[in-house]
Amino acid sequence: MNLEVYGDTLCALVSATALASTGHQVTLHVSADSVANTLEHDEFTLREPGLAPLMLEQKRAGRLNIAPLSQVPDSSCTVLWLALSPDSLPLAHRLVEGLPADIDPEFLIVNQSTFPVGTTEALQKTLLNRPGADSRFGAVVSVPDLLTEGAALTGFIRPTHWLVGADMPWASRLVAELLRPFNRRRDGIMHMRPREAEFTKLAINGMLATRLSYMNDMANLADSLNVDIECVRKGMGADSRIGEAYLYPGCGFGGLSFSRDVMSLASTLQHSGLQAQLIEEVLQINERQKETLFRKLWQYYDTQLEGRKVAIWGVAFKPESSRIDNAPALKLIEALWAQGVQVHVHDPRALPALAQWAGRDRDDLVLHDDPYEAAAGADALMLVTEWKPYWSPDFKRLKAEMAKPLLLDGRNVWDPAYMKRSGFVYYGIGRR
């Protein structure tokens, strides 16, 4: 099939590449500053595992072409795939409205964008209301983006399940055919109405956020009860009614899509006239949790933080990402700056984004390419993003480099007993 994929999102790049790898002819439409335009150059900055080599392979094979986001779909297009950013809803309607009147009877529009609930139905109305359009031709379906950054390509090629929202049986069958190469181990496609698929995506992320915030609340309570949250976490996870996923307490969650989905769910509940008390509390807990390491530092130094040096390891919102959207480190850095603290930061990939966020050269923000240089002379080290290289550093060297061997572990990756035997003062999230 000839597919035209629109969007600068990770979802668009992964979808276009994966679909091209199965033999489809795919044109990926992106903006001028998209990383897709630097695919054959050294500037390609998207570090999604496996994506760049596969994109380059498909491009050289002639199955994947890159085109401007402003370019209309080719007349040979049989599938219009929308994986746009949440603020690009007007563009989605323009693309659908601009389709010719004589499209194929089974012309398919796949909405994979994170738009409000009901958008797929609205796009269907736009399709039907085109001048001269035949109401029997074409369908818009919802295939929500369930990809996880850092494992997005794997998540598309070997998914646990798909959500497919379609009102027309032929459209469901056509989507199943598109996804067939990625759906061979078992039938993981769950068919439902478009509105149900869109809402399911939001509900999934709302539940995951609720579990995270609940565990953070339990970890904070464990601190006051002299309880080790790690034992509690394992006990809870062993109960088959609960399971182990998303029970790890920490210093808050971030990420553009995840945070926006939870906020969108809260907004949807409010607009429906229902009280969004639980989801709003989840968001409030998360914002408070982003300051938990600061509060521990504040208490340890008895509020005397001015002039101190604090090192931060990890500012990306999650490992294997260069993005800092809503990252806990940002709120933490601002709290430290407000107390006159000089902040020294290391992160394997996110330093350019942090420099752009800071906006200008600052005496109280120093970026380091080496984690031990960031910690040298520090009055405390805060681990915020659990990159694998941080799990087992040279602790003897680290202790020798630091002015005060104070570790604030925002992800509970270090063993408290071992850290204390090694001569560190250790504070985790609900750890003893």
**Any binding-site annotation on 248?**
yes
Please indicate, yes or no, if residue 432 is contained in any of the structural domains.
no
Confidence of residue 42 (pLDDT cuts 50, 70, 90): low
Examine the fold and report which residue of 163, 192, 221 is the final residue of a domain before the chain moves on: 192
In a shared domain, residues 275 and 401: no
Give yes or no: residues 162 and 177 share one domain.
Answer: yes
% residues pLDDT > 90 (the chain): 77
C-alpha closest to that of 308 among 294, 327, 323, 319:
294
Q: Does residue 271 carry a pLDDT above 70?
A: no
Q: Which domain covers residue 248, as residue numbers?
A: 200-287
Judged by DSSP in three states, 144 sits in coil
Residue 42 lies in a domain: yes
pLDDT of residue 48: 85
Q: What is the chain's Cα-based Rg?
A: 24
**With 0-12 CB in 10 A as exposed, 13-18 as middle and 19+ as buried, what is 274?**
exposed
Residue 91 · residue 29 · CB < 8 Å: no
Any known ligand binding at 6?
no
In a domain, 229, yes or no: yes
Q: Partners of 64 in the beta sheet?
A: 26
Question: Does pLDDT of 274 surpass 80?
Answer: no
- Among the candidates 287, 320, 341, a domain finishes at 287
Q: Is 198 annotated as a binding residue?
A: no
Residues 114, 235, single domain; the answer is no
The response to whether 408 counts as a known ligand-binding position is no
Tell me the C-alpha distance between 419 and 186, whole Å.
45
Reported as a single tens digit per residue, the pLDDT across 162-221 is 999 999 999 999 999 999 999 988 899 999 999 999 999 989 989 999 999 999 999 999
**Backbone dihedral angles phi then psi of residue 222, each to the nearest 5 degrees:** -60, -35
201 marked among binding-site residues: yes
Note the pLDDT tens digit of each residue in 62-85: 999 999 999 999 989 999 999 999
Flag whether 287 is marked binding.
Answer: no
> Do 418 and 396 meet the contact criterion of CB atoms below 8 Å apart?
no
Considering only the C-alpha atoms of the chain, give the largest distance between any 2 of them, rounded to a whole number of Å.
77
Residues 125 and 180 in one domain: yes
Are residues 127 and 86 part of one domain? yes
Based on the domain organization, do 383 and 315 belong to the same domain? Answer: yes
pLDDT number for residue 281: 87
Which of 260, 287, 314 corresponds to the end of one domain? 287
Residues 305-338 pLDDT 10s: 999 999 999 999 999 888 898 999 999 999 999 9
Residues 88 and 214 in one domain: no
Are the C-beta atoms of residues 342 and 310 closer than 8 Å to each other? yes
Q: In what order do the strands lie in the sheet with 406-409?
A: 365-368, 342-346, 309-313, 380-383, 406-409, 425-427
What's the rounded Cα separation, in Å, for the pair 146 and 225? 38
Is residue 341 pLDDT above 70, yes or no? yes
pTM: 0.86
Residue 396 included in any domain: yes
Domain containing 13 — which CATH number? 3.40.50.720
Dist CA 354 CA 322 (whole Å):
9
| pLDDT confidence of residue 270 | 64
How many helical (H) and strand (E) elements, i.e. helices and strands, does the chain have? 16, 14
Report whether pLDDT(377) > 90.
yes
Does one domain contain both 24 and 164?
yes
User: What's the one-letter identity of residue 56?
Assistant: L
Q: What local confidence, expressed as pLDDT, does residue 230 receive? A: 96
Q: Is 246 annotated as a binding residue?
A: yes
| Structure confidence at residue 272 (pLDDT) | 66
Task: Assess if residue 242 is contained within a domain.
Answer: yes
Distance CA 317, CA 427 (A): 21
Do residues 166 and 307 both lie within one domain?
no
Considering the domain architecture, whether residues 160 and 233 belong to the same structural domain is answered as no
Tell me how far apart the alpha carbons of residues 62 and 45 are, in angstroms, rounded to a whole number. 23
Tokens of 270: 């409010």
pLDDT for the residue 423: 97
Domain count, the chain: 3
What are the pLDDT digits (tens) for 232-266?
A: 999 999 999 999 999 999 999 987 767 777 777 77
Q: Are residues 248 and 307 in the same domain?
A: no
Q: What are the distances in angstroms from CA 114 to CA 7, 92, 118, 197?
A: 11, 12, 11, 11
Q: Is 372 part of any known ligand binding site?
A: no
From residue 160, alpha-carbon distances to 81, 146, 307 in Å are 21, 10, 50
Residue 359's pLDDT band, with cuts at 50, 70 and 90, is confident
Q: Which residues, other chains included, contact 39 with Cβ-Cβ below 8 Å and sequence gap of 6+?
A: 52, 55, 56, 59, 66
CATH assignment at residue 255: 1.10.1040.10
Tell me: do 308 and 341 sit in the same domain: yes
Residue 276, pLDDT > 80, answer no
Q: Is residue 160 one of the residues assigned to a domain?
A: yes
Does residue 119 have a known ligand-binding role? no
- pLDDT, tens digit (0-9, with 9 covering 90-100), for 111-156: 999 898 999 999 999 999 998 888 789 999 999 999 988 899 999 9
Report yes or no on 65 lying in a domain: yes
One-letter amino acid for residue 85 of the chain: S
Please tell me whether 118 is known to bind a ligand: no
Residue 205 lies inside a defined structural domain of this protein: yes
Alpha-carbon gap, residue 345 to 343, rounded angstroms: 6
Give the residues across from 313 on adjacent strands: 346, 383
Average pLDDT, the chain: 93
